[in-house]
Chains A and B, each alone.
Chain A
C-alpha cells in the first residue's frame, strides 16, 4: 500500500512545484505589465489564453471587450494577481492533503483531526475549481469576448470538482473510522 501512497505523494510534490513556478511567472508578468505600457505585450499574453469569437478581429483588437471602453493593462494585472492568489490558495489545500497522506504513510490512520483535514482539502479543491472557472470565463469575456471559455473550461472544472468530492468522501470515511477507533479505545 505504501507504494500507491508514495506515488500520490510524488504527484502532489510535482503539482506543488508546477503551481509555485506558475505563481512566480504570473507575478513577473504582473510586474512587467505595471512597469511597461507595451500594448503588444499585453495582447500576446492574452492571445495565449483566450481566442475571440471571430479570429478576423484579431487584427483590430480594440473593438473587442474592454479595450473598446478602457485600458486592458489593469485587467491583465488584476487577472495575473487574482490567478496567483488562487494558485496559492490551491497550494495550501494540496499541502494539507500532502500532510494527511504523509501521516497515513507512517501508519497513523484515523487520528483525531484527519476527517477535518480531508474535509478542508476537499472544500479547497472544489472552491479552487469554481473560482478558476469563473475567473477565466469573466476575463475571457472582458478581454476578447471569448465565449468559448464557458465550454473549454468545463472539463477542468468537472475533473477538479469530482476529485474534491472524492476527497470529501474520504473525509467521511476518516470521521467514521475516528469514531470507531475512539469507541474501541474506550472499550479496551
Chain B
C-alpha cells in the first residue's frame, strides 16, 4: 500500500511545485502589464487562453482587467496550494501508519471543499474574463472538462472524509470499550 501512497504523494509534490511556478508566472505577468502598459503584451498573453468572437480592439481599460485576472488567478492558485498541502499532510500521516487519527476527517473535508471551490471559482473566472475581454462564448464549454474533473476529485475526497470520520468514531468506541 505504501507504494500507492508514495505515488500520490509524489504527484501532489509535483502539483504543488507546478502551481507555485504558475503563481510566480501570473504575478510576474501582472507586474509587467502594470509597468509596461502595452496592449500588445496583453493581447499576446490572452491569445493563449481565449479565442475572440470578433476581432475586437483592446483599449487601455482592459489592461486593468487583464491585471485583475492575473492577480485573481494567482490568489486562486495559492488557495488550491493550501488545499493540496492539507491533503498531502493527511496522506503523509497515513503513510506513517497513523490511520483514523482525531482530525483526519476534518482535514480530508477541508481538502475536498478546497478542490470544489477552486474548480467553481476557476470556471467562473475564466468564463467571465473570456466573455468580458473577447466575447469568447466557446470558453463556457472548453472549461467544462477541467471543472468536472476537479469537482469530482473533490467529491471523492469528501467521500474519503466520511469514511475517515466513521473510522475515527469506531476507533474511539473501541478504545473506550477496552
Contacts and interface: CB of A to CB of B under 8 A. Distances in A.
Contact of A168 (B4, B158, B177): B4
A104 B91 CA distance: 22
Interface of B: 1, 4-5, 7-8, 11, 91, 94, 99-100, 112, 148-149, 152-153, 155-160, 162-164, 166-167, 170-171, 173-174, 177-178
Given A104-B163, A166-B156, 7 more contacts: A4-B112, A8-B159, A166-B157, A172-B4, A177-B166, A180-B100, A187-B177
24 contacts: A1-B158, A4-B162, A5-B159, A110-B170, A158-B11, A159-B149, A162-B11, A163-B153, A165-B4, A165-B7, A166-B156, A169-B5, A169-B94, A173-B160, A176-B99, A176-B167, A177-B163, A177-B167, A177-B170, A180-B100, A180-B171, A184-B170, A184-B174, A184-B177
Interface of B is mostly: helix
Interface of A: 1, 4-5, 7-8, 11, 101, 104, 109-110, 122, 158-159, 162-163, 165-170, 172-174, 176-177, 180-181, 183-184, 187-188
A173 B155 contact: no
Given A110-B170, A168-B1, A177-B166, A101 B159 contact: yes
A173 B99 contact: yes
Given A168-B1, A176-B99, A181 B170 contact: yes
A166 B159 contact: no
Contacts of A165: 4, 7-8, 11
For B5, B94, B166, which residue has the most chain A Cβ atoms within 10 angstroms?
Answer: B166
Given A110-B166, A165-B8, A180-B171, A170 B160 contact: yes
A181 B166 CA distance: 10
Which 8 pairs from chain A and chain B are nearest by CB?
A4-B158, A184-B174, A168-B4, A177-B167, A1-B162, A172-B1, A176-B99, A109-B166
B158 A180 contact: no
A110 B177 contact: no
